[in-house]
Chain A
């Protein structure tokens, strides 16, 4: 049985990094990477909890995480496709230039 606290500390760190990335970065691709970091924090949290049974590692959490990786991959793929379309319209990847829709 692995100790839990180092994993939980890294999950908290990854959450802070991911949210920070979403708040301060201006590049849209980096924003998507921030989302990916958040998803990975949640996945790591799952895997860390799955090791807490005495004597075995719960395969259920692993199957959930495998599917979750596929799902967040598809979300990021759609996001990148949208970033391509944004680039076609605005000729920039800077999210702060996208401010025609307000209120």
Chain B
């Protein structure tokens, strides 16, 4: 108990969140120290330590909450000491730990990668502080126990990501993309606040457990439909569901590559996580099944077609992220615990695959100094290790058997067939096939012969090492997926079937 919570001055926080928030607050001081003393790598080391510690403390929390029967208990932490229905609270179940663990893991890998990638940039203190706070925001969203806490961490994540997208402000691209992202996301934030107000007007509380107790299963009234649409707009912009996706293909390519990996790998998935959590808490699956299924088809089809037309490698990967969000929505639309298991499995697998694709593409862009696929002709042969890992990531994204992308897509589409949405499963399989077209195009161009004698070096060893670790995870989880499926099953059943435990933890 002592190890898992930090209790001081009446503020209770779970250890992962405490590590990230305090790490972010101390980070500027470390930056000043690094500049004064001249220990240039101190900031990078601090970021790596903080994200590593966050991952370890998530694991400790998991150990602490595991019961002897193999389940995961629910723990309620009252942040300000008052009991939940009155004050803000954090409610940690299997799903929270699963998401927070994914955030910390990819954050750790990206932190190691950034050491070399960002060394030519200035203002690194701000960079690492913002990344830490973005991770803290996502961890807080995963653990939030009431809507208001979720909103605060949502804005923490949002604010850090706006500034990180516009981080390379000397060029026009990041600034334009950042402003677009900010205006769209802030509008969505206003709709989220409006949906909070509507929930408050209906139920008189914002606590998730109490809302699930009172609103779930209520008769479908026009107000409930208004609430549903404001929720979809509020969460949908951050998670880039198609009519609301237009900021993503600008923002993700223009950010520095480690940030692209974080944004595509986990930030949009955190938006999807929040949407899944809130929809399953407030509505019966029958209410949101069809609208989400339609959004899912629209998202994957449009994104795959647009990705075919791209000539910029990072922009292509950004469109591919939107398509993957479409696949994840399939599991959400199925309305069963099995489908939600597929969604969360794909969230982790996609964070590995897309994170690695962006990191390898970042290495290519870093060394070849271009983002145009056409001018990367033949670069693959000069950077064999980087392109090998990029190929593994692309095959995984396309869903080739032997990679973890195949496993999670299999479960997603199987869930669609199992819940009277066969047309959705068929659309998903067709879209997967379509997406291979642009992944294979990248491979073909990178391996094509080159005449003009351009010399490109292999990326630094640390950057290659990170991508190799992720490639190993993709292959291992593709061949032996049992451990991650086990975790994802616990996470999804905590949300869909174990809801009474979630409610009981607060209401007693």
Contact A42 B159, CB 8 Å, known A79-B183, A86-B175, A98-B179: no
B16-24, B190-198, B423-431, B478-486 - interface stretch: B190-198
Distance of B63 from chain A, by nearest CB (Å): 34
Measured as residues with beta carbon below 8 angstroms from the partner, the interface class of chain B is 35 or more
Is A16 located at the chain interface by the 8 A CB criterion?
no
Is B280 located at the chain interface by the 8 A CB criterion?
no
On whether the beta carbons of A74 and B155 are closer than 8 Å, the reply is yes
Contact A89 B172, CB 8 Å, known A75-B159, A75-B189: yes
> Of the candidates A18, A31, A58, which one forms a contact with B190 in the assembled complex, judged by CB atoms under 8 Å apart?
A18
On whether the beta carbons of B187 and A38 are closer than 8 Å, the reply is yes
* Interface of B: prevailing SS: helix
> Of the candidates A22, A39, A90, A100, which one forms a contact with B189 in the assembled complex, judged by CB atoms under 8 Å apart?
A39
Contact A32 B183, CB 8 Å, known A42-B196, A46-B196, A75-B189: yes
Is B491 located at the chain interface by the 8 A CB criterion?
no
On whether the beta carbons of B249 and A38 are closer than 8 Å, the reply is no
Distance of A9 from chain B, by nearest CB (Å): 15
Contact A82 B172, CB 8 Å, known A35-B187, A64-B148, A103-B306: no
Which B residues lie at the A interface, using CB under 8 A?
86, 148, 151-152, 155, 158-159, 162-163, 166, 169, 172-173, 175-180, 182-183, 186-187, 189-191, 193-194, 196-198, 200-201, 204-206, 249-250, 254, 306, 309-310, 315
State the 5 A-B residue pairs at the shortest beta-carbon distance, nearest first: A38-B190, A42-B193, A49-B201, A45-B197, A42-B194
Pairs across A and B, CB under 8 Å, 30 listed: A22-B187, A35-B186, A38-B190, A38-B194, A39-B193, A42-B191, A42-B193, A42-B194, A42-B197, A43-B197, A45-B198, A46-B200, A49-B201, A60-B205, A64-B206, A68-B151, A71-B152, A71-B189, A72-B190, A74-B159, A75-B159, A75-B162, A75-B182, A75-B189, A79-B183, A90-B172, A98-B179, A98-B180, A101-B180, A103-B306
